[in-house]
A and B are shown apart, each in its own frame.
Chain A
Amino acid sequence: MPVSLLWAVDVYGRVYSLSTAGQQWEQCRNSQMEFKRVTAAQTCCWGIACDNSVYLNVHASDLPIRYQEDTYENQRWNPVDGFSDRLLPSDRWQWSDSSGLQHQPLNGFQLPSSTWEWEGDWHVDENLEGEPTEKEGWTYAMDFPAAYTKDKKWNSCVRRRRWLRYRRYKAMDTWAKIPSQQTTLPDPFSDISCGGWEISEEPGGRLSLWAVSLQGKVWFREGISHHNPEGSSWVEVPLPGEVVQISCGPGDLVWAVLWEGQLLVREGISRDNSKGTSWAVVESPNPEVGAIHVAVGMNVVWAVTKDNKVWFRRGVNSHNPCGSGWISMVGEMAMINVGLNDQVWAIGCEDRVVYFRQGITSSELSGKTWKAINVPRDGDRSHSSASASSLHSAGCFFSGEVRAPSVASDAELDIEHPPGDGAIISSAVLEEEVVPGEGEVNVLSSDAITCTQSGGPPDPQWSNVDLEEAQIQHVQTGAVPDSADSCSLSSVATYTLALEDQYGADEHPLWAWVSGGGCSVDSHSQLNWFNSMLQSVQSMSLSVSPAQTAAWRKQIFEQLTERSKREMDNFRHYEQAIEQSVWVKKGAMQWWRDWKPHKWIDVHFALEQFSGADGNKDGILFIYYNYHEEKKYLHAFINEVTILVPVLNHSKHTFAIYTPERTKQRWPIRLAAATELEMYDWLALLSVSCCDSRGIQGPPSKQAIWSITCKGDIFVSEPSSALEATPYPTPCDQMFWRQVGGHLRLVDCNSLGIVWGIGYDHTAWVYSGGYGGGFFQGLASSTDNIYTQTDTKSVYIYENQRWNPVTGYTTRGLPTDRYMWSDASGLHECTKTGTKPPSPHWTWVSDWAIDYSVSGGTDREGWQYAADFPASYHGFKTMKDFVRRRRWARKCKLSTTGPWQEIPPIQLSDVTILPCSAQSSVDVVPLWAISNKGDVLCRMGVTLLTPAGTSWLHVGTDQPFKSISIGAASQVWGVARDGSAFYRGSVSPSAGDCWYHIPSPAKQKLKQVSVGRTSVYTVDENGNLWYRQGVTPSYPQGSSWEHISNNVRKVSVGPLDQVWIIADKVQGSHSLSCGTVCHRLGVQPMDPKGQSWDYGIGGGWDHITIRGNSMEPSRICLSSMTDPSPQAPRSPLPVRSTESSSALNLTM
């Protein structure tokens, strides 16, 4: 789990953060002032400072926040001037937006605030829907508005071109003030809460920000998104009463507390309406004592009443945001906060300690116990100066403190609440530190002074003073405070720290506010927050010298080797005391029988293992079955098994065994075990046997070929030098694949052994050097380098409806129609309740929700319309549409183990590593990636020792990308989302300078690109494989696309220009398989396109990378491999020369 931060404010107004991996509170140094509230999201933190302004702290990221401004320059042709800016009076502006309605001169663009800066100057966009335009970027049309083309025709009377400029948000990791709207915000904010990032599928950055003003009004910040982190404006939300505090969860929950102690629940919050529609009132947990504080998460609501009692709201969810009842919880808290995963933090009302609620799981949302977070703060002594300066700067501090008055000195102000009442109250009160002798001492300071011990330096005294009062004092607007007003808000309480030593607070920080909205922990997280100082030091020292490098460990390894030498080396001719014997393991299984009608039949299964003549273990598999009352068996030699594939679903625990023969047939031996455990026992055992028989042990080699199935399972194969031999390579179906733990969507590697993967949830992972994990326990798995890996994906089902003239669209279809709830094909019924996660390893983590991100678009309710099933759907209703459907998505999560370590925080959709030869000594390996937002990124600091690299460098593009590949000589090719290709010259050592736009093959949108030594291959969205013709050192962009094959899903081109694909629809003798690994035969330097395909393992393969295999074919002995670092910087492809020599070798 990536490191994330818990934020807190102490009673002095200083902001601290605590890392989930850390053991001390780090002070937020760059804040110039004190804060009273903070509310955190994962990407940023909002706060209210003591100047009552709202501040935003956007966490620095390798991925910059940049916004593309564009405007159009319009021209019309006239016989005199040709094309000129003299337009007709009826025409659009000379500079306008795309529609022509908005006047947009270049100099009219202003930076929205001082936190933005321009990235460069305006430039012309020379790209029209994936097609490069002429140099000037003009696009032509007959008239405005019309369809524009890149070619000028005889009737082109108008033309326009698009200008682009980027602005970048620069205020990273600092508190930037949100400009206030003086006219509409008469009173300052007292509370703030952000959340709502889960309600739309929009990736990171969009959030809802709610604020409460001192007068009890609620405001909503409009327009916060990734590209606009500050939002655009405050909108007041009408209220039935006066609110003191508000809380917004990550989803659609928003609760607020009224002055009177009841709670408000916002209803109608949805994807289309993040502000919601109306308020519902929920009574306080205790009718006698009003609520004072509320905190909401995804599915939980916690509240604190004025007597500091903690309450948990039962039955809260999206459909019932009000919940059903209160449960009283243990503990007395001043405030409470719900963070990610519904985890809860609170601040104790007496001790001011931050507590973490332990044991909160999705099934036990109320958790088990409060545990104090007990870690030191950084720079213990340094804060004395901070404290001093704070005295100087403002003299006022904030807290959500609710206290009974310890000194009844406020009677004259506290009109509404008789002093005896005791419950004084507000979270909007602020504590004011009063320093005798300070110029700005207000009326109340006299009260405070009375309790100041005389003599010595002034001890800080704390009093709760209402902010209105303080405001007036500070601003000095009114000569006399409006007593009625202040009375309505008045709540004065003094809180004496009662500390002998002002700095004694160091021993025990006093916290005022905590926010876990950016803190990603769950009940399984290993946190070091609760240890005492002593232990933390010890565990730190342990981590400094990990067991792997310890001297004791080395000593044991060395001595054991020495012992073997001493005791065994000279006595190898002695007889062994124990005879080798055959070991048979038997079990009952079911087998998907080979003959028709195919069905599962009960069989006996046996594995016999023995030691082969060469000392390697070998074995035979037997399947004993009955055929027409006759006992028969089927067998397979372990050393012929090429792969074991687990096929787990809810009804059966099955796995498939392939041999070369079975691969040709496309018909594996399919077996089902009685239980999942039994299946994995067998798989682990068979896997060990297969590896033993082939003498394979330990982690995959650097040359290994990696592949991934559609289930996310990861397989590796060790290539031999014969694999790429010509003319007789090892047939693909003889390759042996073994599984590696983990769950990925794609993987890339190079021959230095650097391997990166990307999960279904776009998380980036780097290979740790281990093997095993997953169900490989014990011996089949390395002990080190195995980590927990999680992945999430969505399961989709479709709701189908048919229109009839009487009732409109209904759930009653025609008898011939598909199920009203079905999968995408319509062939299988999939109901909301009946649909299960893909396998028992997955668990649901969300509820069913309408999915609006369907290609073709949807209407506001998510429906797509069509004339009939099955057809192409569109997102609006026409007269001819008689059916409609909408997609529902539900997220599920998998937790497994494997040799993978997470690389937070940026989510990726593609990654590519420079292929290089095993011998080459590359210091820093170029690694490029695409973020899931489409940004092109270059990883810095990737070396053999630090395969994870250090940071990302953002590489600007004018549009989002979806695929990237880096080939020899560090040439980078990419595919943009519009389906066109881009080429970028040598990117090593710098990141290159510009993109060359390369049009896609006619009428095709490219999907994926892979670049090898000299070959460039792409796959388009219709499954065509294209080879780039005419790529030469002097013209590395090439000249045209040549069609190679169809039915291709993915391509991987290796360091020797070897070409491997995942192909659809490969016909075997018994069956057809989709998603099949195929190898291009006959690829030679003079014939890089190859001749034909050889078919390997298949049936559900999704991804392959052969970019680690730089093993030259066995016959050929090259003196030097391709050196990926270009010797001649002028020539992007210096490899051609070496390659021609290899061509000679080949033909010899």
Chain B
Amino acid sequence: MLSVLFMTAGSCAFFRVHLCAGGPCSLCPTGKSNSSTMADDKDVLRDVWFGRIPTCFTLNPDEVTEREAEAYYLLLPRVSYLPVVTDKVKKHFLKVMRAEDVEEMWFEYEGTPLKWHYPIGVLFDFHASNTVLPWTITVHFKNFPDEDLLHCSSNSVVEAHFMSSIKEADALKHKSQVINDMQKKDHKQLWMGLQNDKFDQFWAMNRKLMEYPTEDGGFRYIPFRIYQTLSDRPFIQKLFRPVSPEGHAHTLGDLLKEMYPDALTNDGEQKRYQVLIHGIEPLLETPLQWLSEHLSHPDNFLHICVVPVPTD
């Protein structure tokens, strides 16, 4: 029987334990000295995991404060969720506020409330991909926009949402066989890995979700979501197989052609849309199965943002 425990840095009382004090250390995504000679697909996983968005949190000027609130700067993990990584932000602003003025914290960017149940990287790519860094997010403690956002009372809500996404993804990939074969502690390990930014711990388990029988050539269906700016629907999500009936591998282009043909640039046309995954634009001939294995978020979905090409 194995079990996984977490302690915060301070609670470890053993000798010779040199812990970094939470400072800006160990931001070493790959640990390799020369990142230009990337050769292994593993490095993609690390780069995806260790993607960070420099963010400047400012307090909404309408909030009642005792004294002026300074902006708060943080490196947000692209693959995580806002409520999981904003404890420090909350703590920072609560210092200048009276307790009775504080309701549920929510975030907004240029007038748009940010949905906490989307991964941070998706929020950034979708709303702010072409802005100047750092990304400036406004923090609210009042007037929670119930029509736009889900309430999030604690991290367990995020965990429930995250786990349900993983389960949904595995239902598409393996008819839920892999996730159902896992034990409770394995599920916990996935979440704890994400919550505590433990790449190894997360992937030790997540790799099982990324396996498939060689003869099938891929998952049953690719779990994906396409986010588009000009639509009432939040995102497109349909069934799509990684391999065509004729046996050739579907590409990102194939997916878009079927789901969102407008996103593609026709011959002789000016490019109108960027197709962003984790802030990069993969070539349309990239095999979808490979993308699903390597560029999915921890929730096992491939989140694809289609945003207009910046005009400037």
Footprint of B on A, CB under 8 Å? Answer: 531, 534-535, 538-539, 542, 547-548, 550-553, 555-557, 559-564, 566-568, 570-588, 608, 610-613, 615-616, 618, 620, 637, 678, 681, 684-685, 688, 692, 695, 697-698, 777-779, 782-784
CA–CA, A949 and B283, complex, Å: 35
Question: Is A586's CB under 8 angstroms from B5's CB?
Answer: yes
Taking the complex as formed, is B110 at the interface, i.e. its CB lies under 8 A from any CB of chain A?
Answer: no
Taking the complex as formed, is B290 at the interface, i.e. its CB lies under 8 A from any CB of chain A?
Answer: yes
Question: Is B40's CB under 8 angstroms from A585's CB?
Answer: no
Question: Is A613's CB under 8 angstroms from B18's CB?
Answer: yes
Which of A552, A556, A575, A783 makes the CB contact (< 8 A) with B74?
A: A575
- Top 7 A-B pairs, shortest CB-CB distance: A571-B54, A559-B280, A577-B85, A778-B207, A552-B286, A615-B26, A552-B283
Of the A-B pairs whose beta carbons lie under 8 Å apart in the complex, a sample of 8, sorted by A's number, is A547-B290, A575-B23, A575-B73, A578-B84, A583-B201, A610-B12, A620-B16, A620-B17
Query: Looking at the complex, which of B27-35, B137-145, B162-170 is the stretch in contact with chain A?
Result: B27-35
**Contacts A577-B77, A578-B77 supplied; 4 other A-B pairs, CB < 8 Å:** A535-B247, A556-B286, A573-B24, A583-B196
Taking the complex as formed, is B3 at the interface, i.e. its CB lies under 8 A from any CB of chain A?
Answer: yes
Question: Is B286's CB under 8 angstroms from A574's CB?
Answer: no
CA–CA, A1108 and B196, complex, Å: 41
With A555-B283, A579-B22, A584-B7 already in contact, the answer to whether A615 and B51 are too (CB < 8 A) is: no
Q: How far is the CB of A928 from chain B (nearest CB, A)?
A: 31
Which of B17, B45, B249, B279 makes the CB contact (< 8 A) with A610?
A: B17
Which of A539, A562, A572 makes the CB contact (< 8 A) with B24?
A: A572
- How many residues on the B side are at the interface (Cβ–Cβ under 8 A)? 81
CA–CA, A539 and B217, complex, Å: 12
In the complex, chain A residues whose CB is within 8 Å of the CB of B197: 576, 578, 580
CA–CA, A611 and B23, complex, Å: 12
Q: How far is the CB of A206 from chain B (nearest CB, A)?
A: 37
Q: How far is the CB of A720 from chain B (nearest CB, A)?
A: 16
CA–CA, A1007 and B4, complex, Å: 52
CA–CA, A639 and B265, complex, Å: 53
CA–CA, A1063 and B50, complex, Å: 46
Taking the complex as formed, is B1 at the interface, i.e. its CB lies under 8 A from any CB of chain A?
Answer: yes
Question: Is B38's CB under 8 angstroms from A582's CB?
Answer: no
In the complex, chain A residues whose CB is within 8 Å of the CB of B32: 697-698
Closest to B30 in A: A697
CA–CA, A620 and B12, complex, Å: 12
Taking the complex as formed, is B2 at the interface, i.e. its CB lies under 8 A from any CB of chain A?
Answer: yes
Closest to B78 in A: A567
Question: Is A567's CB under 8 angstroms from B41's CB?
Answer: no
Taking the complex as formed, is B282 at the interface, i.e. its CB lies under 8 A from any CB of chain A?
Answer: yes
CA–CA, A557 and B35, complex, Å: 9
Question: Is B76's CB under 8 angstroms from A784's CB?
Answer: no
With A568-B52, A778-B207 already in contact, the answer to whether A580 and B280 are too (CB < 8 A) is: no
Which of B19, B35, B48 makes the CB contact (< 8 A) with A561?
A: B35
With A574-B73, A586-B5, A783-B42 already in contact, the answer to whether A778 and B203 are too (CB < 8 A) is: yes
CA–CA, A557 and B34, complex, Å: 13
Question: Is A783's CB under 8 angstroms from B85's CB?
Answer: no
Question: Is B42's CB under 8 angstroms from A552's CB?
Answer: no
Question: Is A575's CB under 8 angstroms from B75's CB?
Answer: yes
In the complex, chain B residues whose CB is within 8 Å of the CB of A613: 18, 20, 25
With A535-B247, A563-B51 already in contact, the answer to whether A610 and B19 are too (CB < 8 A) is: yes
Q: How far is the CB of A81 from chain B (nearest CB, A)?
A: 77
Which of B75, B201, B290 makes the CB contact (< 8 A) with A571?
A: B75
Interface residue ranges of B82-98 to A (CB < 8 Å) = 84-86, 88
In the complex, chain B residues whose CB is within 8 Å of the CB of A553: 286, 290
Closest to B54 in A: A571
Question: Is B9's CB under 8 angstroms from A782's CB?
Answer: no
In the complex, chain B residues whose CB is within 8 Å of the CB of A610: 9, 12, 17-19
In the complex, chain B residues whose CB is within 8 Å of the CB of A555: 282-283, 286
Closest to B33 in A: A695
Interface residue ranges of B136-185 to A (CB < 8 Å) = none
Closest to B192 in A: A583
CA–CA, A690 and B278, complex, Å: 31
With A582-B17, A584-B4, A608-B14 already in contact, the answer to whether A576 and B75 are too (CB < 8 A) is: yes
CA–CA, A586 and B185, complex, Å: 13
Question: Is B40's CB under 8 angstroms from A783's CB?
Answer: yes
Which of B28, B40, B51, B196 makes the CB contact (< 8 A) with A578?
A: B196
Which of A564, A616, A678 makes the CB contact (< 8 A) with B47?
A: A564
In the complex, chain A residues whose CB is within 8 Å of the CB of B196: 578, 581, 583
Question: Is B17's CB under 8 angstroms from A557's CB?
Answer: no
Question: Is B1's CB under 8 angstroms from A579's CB?
Answer: no
CA–CA, A578 and B196, complex, Å: 6
Q: How far is the CB of A878 from chain B (nearest CB, A)?
A: 60
Question: Is A576's CB under 8 angstroms from B22's CB?
Answer: yes
Taking the complex as formed, is B67 at the interface, i.e. its CB lies under 8 A from any CB of chain A?
Answer: no
In the complex, chain B residues whose CB is within 8 Å of the CB of A695: 31
Question: Is B42's CB under 8 angstroms from A782's CB?
Answer: yes
In the complex, chain A residues whose CB is within 8 Å of the CB of B73: 571, 574-575
CA–CA, A577 and B23, complex, Å: 10
Question: Is B16's CB under 8 angstroms from A556's CB?
Answer: no
A550, A570, A579 — most chain B CB neighbours (10 Å): A579
Taking the complex as formed, is B236 at the interface, i.e. its CB lies under 8 A from any CB of chain A?
Answer: no
In the complex, chain B residues whose CB is within 8 Å of the CB of A542: 248-249
Question: Is B29's CB under 8 angstroms from A611's CB?
Answer: no
Question: Is A611's CB under 8 angstroms from B38's CB?
Answer: no
Closest to B26 in A: A615
Q: How far is the CB of A539 from chain B (nearest CB, A)?
A: 8
Taking the complex as formed, is B312 at the interface, i.e. its CB lies under 8 A from any CB of chain A?
Answer: no
In the complex, chain A residues whose CB is within 8 Å of the CB of B29: 564
Question: Is B20's CB under 8 angstroms from A588's CB?
Answer: no
Question: Is B4's CB under 8 angstroms from A577's CB?
Answer: no
Question: Is B133's CB under 8 angstroms from A782's CB?
Answer: no
Taking the complex as formed, is B112 at the interface, i.e. its CB lies under 8 A from any CB of chain A?
Answer: no
CA–CA, A166 and B41, complex, Å: 54
Question: Is A571's CB under 8 angstroms from B28's CB?
Answer: no
Q: How far is the CB of A22 from chain B (nearest CB, A)?
A: 18
In the complex, chain A residues whose CB is within 8 Å of the CB of B48: 560
Taking the complex as formed, is B259 at the interface, i.e. its CB lies under 8 A from any CB of chain A?
Answer: no
Question: Is A556's CB under 8 angstroms from B282's CB?
Answer: yes
CA–CA, A258 and B48, complex, Å: 70
CA–CA, A778 and B293, complex, Å: 12
Q: How far is the CB of B22 from chain A (nearest CB, A)?
A: 4
CA–CA, A1042 and B42, complex, Å: 51
A535, A550, A567, A585 — most chain B CB neighbours (10 Å): A567
Taking the complex as formed, is B309 at the interface, i.e. its CB lies under 8 A from any CB of chain A?
Answer: no
In the complex, chain A residues whose CB is within 8 Å of the CB of B261: none
CA–CA, A612 and B201, complex, Å: 17
CA–CA, A561 and B24, complex, Å: 20
In the complex, chain A residues whose CB is within 8 Å of the CB of B296: none
Closest to B8 in A: A581
With A579-B22, A581-B6, A779-B42 already in contact, the answer to whether A574 and B54 are too (CB < 8 A) is: yes
Which of A531, A534, A582 makes the CB contact (< 8 A) with B19?
A: A582
In the complex, chain B residues whose CB is within 8 Å of the CB of A584: 4-7
Question: Is A577's CB under 8 angstroms from B76's CB?
Answer: yes
Question: Is A567's CB under 8 angstroms from B53's CB?
Answer: yes
CA–CA, A582 and B198, complex, Å: 10
In the complex, chain B residues whose CB is within 8 Å of the CB of A556: 44, 280, 282, 286, 294-295
Question: Is B54's CB under 8 angstroms from A568's CB?
Answer: yes
Question: Is A588's CB under 8 angstroms from B1's CB?
Answer: yes
Question: Is A779's CB under 8 angstroms from B204's CB?
Answer: yes
In the complex, chain B residues whose CB is within 8 Å of the CB of A779: 42, 45, 200, 203-204, 207
Taking the complex as formed, is B104 at the interface, i.e. its CB lies under 8 A from any CB of chain A?
Answer: no
Q: How far is the CB of B104 from chain A (nearest CB, A)?
A: 19
Which of B41, B246, B249 makes the CB contact (< 8 A) with A534?
A: B246
CA–CA, A81 and B180, complex, Å: 97
In the complex, chain A residues whose CB is within 8 Å of the CB of B41: 783-784
In the complex, chain A residues whose CB is within 8 Å of the CB of B70: none
CA–CA, A572 and B198, complex, Å: 19
Question: Is B279's CB under 8 angstroms from A612's CB?
Answer: no
Question: Is B74's CB under 8 angstroms from A574's CB?
Answer: yes
Which of B7, B74, B84, B246 makes the CB contact (< 8 A) with A582?
A: B7
